[in-house]
C-alpha cells in the first residue's frame, strides 16, 4: 500500500529525477503534511521507540543537576537560556527542572527555550510543562533563540537530522539517491556525476576506502551555531546520542517502527529514520568556533560519574519491591551493554566556553 508521502515522493522523482538521500530523509521526517514527526507522538511503549528520559526519571534528573552545576560554573548569570533541542514529550525537561531546584537561584535566572518543529509534539510538550513556574518559549530552529548565556541540551536529536550519503566508484564519489527501479519500486541509486573535489573533504581515514564503500555526513550548520553562541555569549552544550567517536565509512541509516527495524524505503512517513552521529565531525565543527570539548564518553560512564547509582539507591529506599525492581531494570537499560543496553552505544559530549575546564560528568 502506497503511503500519502510515498505518492508525493514518486511525483517529485518523476518530475525531477532521483532525489538525494538527505532530501528523502527530510521529507520522511518533517514534510509539513505527511512527515513522521509532524503527525504523531512516536515515544513510549505505545509508540515506535523509547528514549532515555522515558526509561527512567533518573536520566532527566541527572541532566538537570548537570545544567545547574554548569550555571554555577558560569558565574550564576542572572538571565540564562536553557535550551532543549527536540524535547520529545517534555519528559526530560520536567525531570531536569525538578532536580535543578537543588541550586538556589537557577530557576529564577532561567528562561526555557524548546526547539521543536512538530505541531503534534509541541502540543504534547505544552501539556507536560503547563504547571511549571518558569517561562517556556518554543522555536522552529535554534537560530531563533535570543543571544546571551546559553545551556543547550540535546538527547537523541542529532541522529534524526538528515544525512547525505556518497558511494565510492572508480572515478570518484557519487551522491546516493532515491529513485524508482524497473519494477516500479523506490530504490537506492547514485547520481549521474561524481561530487567535485569530494576526496579532499573526506577524513583521512576514509580516503583509501575500497570501491563500493559508503560514507555519510551531515551539514555542520547547527554545530557551528552552537559553538558560536557558546563562545560569544558564554555557556555550554550537552549532546547525548548514539554514534561513533571517529569518522568512518559504512551505512548506518535505519528505519524503526513499533519498536522494530523496518525498510527505510518501505513506508515513507510512517516510520522513523535515523543515522548514527559522527562525533568526530560534530566536535571538529564546534571546535572550529573556539569551544572547549569534553568527552565523548560512553553514556554509562557519564551517568555513573553524575551519580546514577546513588540516585537509584535513594529512590529504591522508599519504594515497594516491584517499583525498586523497575528502577534496577531502568538503570541496567541506561548503563548496560548488549542488544537492549544503551550504555555503550550512546555517547555524551559537551562543549563549553573555553574558560570552563572542569565540568560535571567529564572529570573524575
Tens of pLDDT along the chain (364 residues) come to 789 999 999 999 999 999 999 999 999 999 999 999 888 776 655 555 578 888 889 999 999 999 999 999 999 999 999 999 999 999 999 999 999 988 889 999 999 999 999 999 999 999 999 988 899 999 999 999 999 999 999 999 999 999 999 999 999 999 999 999 999 999 999 999 999 999 999 999 999 999 999 999 999 999 999 999 999 999 999 999 999 999 999 999 999 877 678 899 999 999 999 999 999 999 999 999 999 999 999 999 999 999 999 888 888 888 888 888 888 898 899 999 877 789 999 999 999 999 887 788 997 6
pLDDT at 326: 87
Burial of 117 (0-12, 13-18, 19+ CB in 10 A): middle
The helix-helix angle for 221-233 and 279-287 (nearest 10°) equals 40
pLDDT at 206: 94
Strand stretches in 229-282, DSSP E: 235-244, 254-257, 260-262, 272-274, 277-278
Q: How far apart are CA 264 and CA 242, in angstroms?
A: 18
> Cell triple for residue 4?
500519502
Cβ contact 5:26 at 8 Å: no
pLDDT at 321: 86
CB within 8 Å of 310: residues ≥ 6 apart: none
pLDDT at 47: 53
- Which residue in 38, 111, 349 sits closest to 223, CA to CA? 349
pLDDT at 136: 96
What SS3 state is found at 231? helix
Amino acid at each position: 500500500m502506497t503511503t500519502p508521502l510515498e505518492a508525493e515522493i514518486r511525483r517529485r522523482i518523476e518530475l525531477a529525477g532521483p532525489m538525494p538521500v538527505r532530501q528523502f530523509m527530510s521529507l520522511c521526517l518533517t514534510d509539513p503534511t505527511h512527515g513522521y514527526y509532524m503527525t504523531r507522538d512516536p515515544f513510549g511503549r505505545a509508540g515506535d521507540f523509547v528514549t532515555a528520559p522515558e526509561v527512567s526519571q533518573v536520566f532527566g534528573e541527572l541532566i538537570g543537576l548537570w545544567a545547574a552545576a554548569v550555571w554555577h560554573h558560569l558565574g550564576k548569570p542572572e538571565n540564562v537560556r536553557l535550551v532543549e533541542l527536540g524535547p520529545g514529550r517534555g519528559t526530560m525537561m520536567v525531570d531536569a527542572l525538578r532536580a535543578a531546584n537543588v541550586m538556589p537561584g537557577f530557576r529564577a535566572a532561567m528562561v526555557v527555550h524548546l526547539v521543536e518543529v512538530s505541531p503534534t509534539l509541541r502540543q504534547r510538550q505544552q501539556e507536560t510543562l503547563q504547571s511549571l513556574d518558569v517561562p517556556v518559549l518554543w522555536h522552529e530552529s535554534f537560530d531563533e533563540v535570543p543571544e546571551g548565556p546559553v545551556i543547550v541540551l540535546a538527547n537523541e536529536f542529532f541522529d534524526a537530522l538528515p544525512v547525505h550519503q556518497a558511494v565510492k566508484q572508480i572515478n570518484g564519489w557519487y551522491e546516493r539517491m532515491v529513485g524508482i527501479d524497473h519494477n516500479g519500486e523506490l530504490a537506492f541509486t547514485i547520481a549521474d556525476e561524481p561530487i567535485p573535489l569530494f576526496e579532499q573533504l573526506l577524513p583521512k581515514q576514509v580516503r583509501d576506502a575500497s570501491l563500493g564503500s559508503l560514507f555519510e555526513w551531515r551539514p555542520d550548520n547547527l554545530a557551528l551555531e552552537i559553538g558560536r553562541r557558546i563562545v560569544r555569549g558564554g555557556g555550554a552544550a550537552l549532546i547525548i546520542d548514539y554514534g561513533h567517536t571517529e569518522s568512518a565509512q559504512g551505512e548506518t541509516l535505519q528505519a524503526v517502527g513499533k519498536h522494530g527495524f523496518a525498510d527505510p524505503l518501505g513506508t515513507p512517513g510512517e516510520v522513523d529514520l535515523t543515522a548514527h552521529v559522527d562525533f568526530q565531525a560534530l566536535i571538529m565543527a564546534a571546535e572550529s568556533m573556539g569551544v572547549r570539548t569534553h568527552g565523548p564518553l560512553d553514556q554509562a560512564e557519564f551517568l555513573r560519574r553524575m551519580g546514577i547509582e546513588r540516585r537509584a539507591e535513594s529512590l529504591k529506599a522508599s519504594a515497594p519491591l516491584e517499583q525498586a525492581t523497575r528502577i534496577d531494570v531502568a538503570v541496567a537499560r541506561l548503563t548496560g551493554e548488549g542488544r537492549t543496553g544503551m550504555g555503550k552505544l550512546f555517547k555524551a559530549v559537551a562543549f563549553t566556553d573555553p574558560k570552563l575546564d572542569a565540568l560535571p560528568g567529564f572529570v573524575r
